[in-house]
Amino acid sequence: MILIDTSAWIEFFRRAGSRAAKERVAAYMDAVEAAYTCPVYFELLAGARDTEKAWIEQALEFCERIPFTGSHWAKAAELERSLRKSGVTVPRDDLFVATVALAEGLSVLCRDSHFETMRDAGRLKLRIESLL
């Protein structure tokens, strides 16, 4: 199972998106290995045009939904404090995805350098499949 970040989904859904990203996301979906979490769901729907919402919802039906629970909130707060002590600030949505990946033992498929920054600066055991 791999946790697919919003950045990878955007490439997947974008008409002119990266072919490599489209193929990688599709392969995980075909293998029933694709997952997303609530913050990703929020970002996708918040940024979607009215005509895109049904398409997004349909694609996500083929993926595992990992709920963002109360324990994830506490871990995310701890992670953000730890990263700040290292001088690192990242968007909270990325922090939430990293928290779920770490807590659930999942790799993250992304096209976003913030995950590498969190991993390296925070000395995290965050597994990343980068589409950069």
Low-confidence ranges of the chain (pLDDT < 70): none
Contacts of 43 by beta carbon, 8 Å cutoff, 6+ apart: 6, 93
- pLDDT tens string 64-88: 999 999 999 999 999 999 999 999 9
| Predicted pLDDT of residue 122 | 87
Which CATH number does the domain housing residue 113 bear?
3.40.50.1010
Q: What are the φ/ψ torsions at residue 97 (nearest 5 degrees)?
A: -65, -45
Alpha-carbon distance of 56 to 59, in angstroms, equals: 5
Predicted TM-score of the model (pTM) = 0.95
The count of structural domains within the chain is 1
Where in the sequence is the domain holding 6, given as residue range(s)? 2-130
